[in-house]
Amino acid sequence: MEDCLFCKIIKGEVPSNKVYEDDLVYVFKDIAPAAPVHYLAVPKKHISSALEIDSHNSSYIAHIYEVIAKIAKDEGFGKDGFRVVNNCGELAGQTVFHIHFHILAGRELEWPAG
């Protein structure tokens, strides 16, 4: 989608620090990390938010969670624990309207969030 920051990052038009990529998903480092590990996992298909997940695109979301499990195991933070966060809409603090899953690890994470 034109004028979408994360679509531009996926296409390489905006630089990013890539962590993982396949046909369906792109994972990169957050520009303002909130934890020692802070990645963003995004589908290569533009889905604006969790509100837009439906039977036509939910396979992207399922695949993102498979990739998150693989990264957590490969990088070793899976055994200590980590958090996956999706902010949906204004009140939740979503600022980029291309669905993304924050992967946070490397420190104790407080709960409840926000």
Site of interaction with ligand 5GP (CB under 6 A): 5, 14, 16, 28-32, 40, 87, 93-96
For residue 105, count other CB atoms closer than 10 A to its CB. 21
Which of ligand 5GP, Zn ion, none is residue 1 near (CB under 5 to 8 Å by kind)? Answer: Zn ion
Nearer to ligand 5GP (CB atom), residue 55 or residue 112: 112
DSSP per-residue letters across 48-85: -SGGG--TTTHHHHHHHHHHHHHHHHHHSTTTT-EEEE
Residue ranges binding Zn ion (CB under 5 A)? 1, 4, 6-7, 46, 98
Give the HSE-up count for residue 29: Cα atoms under 13 Å, Cβ half-sphere: 11
Nearer to Zn ion (CB atom), residue 4 or residue 24: 4
Q: Locate 64 and state its tokens.
A: 């993102």
Residue 102 annotated in active site: no
Q: Which residues have a catalytic role annotated? A: 100
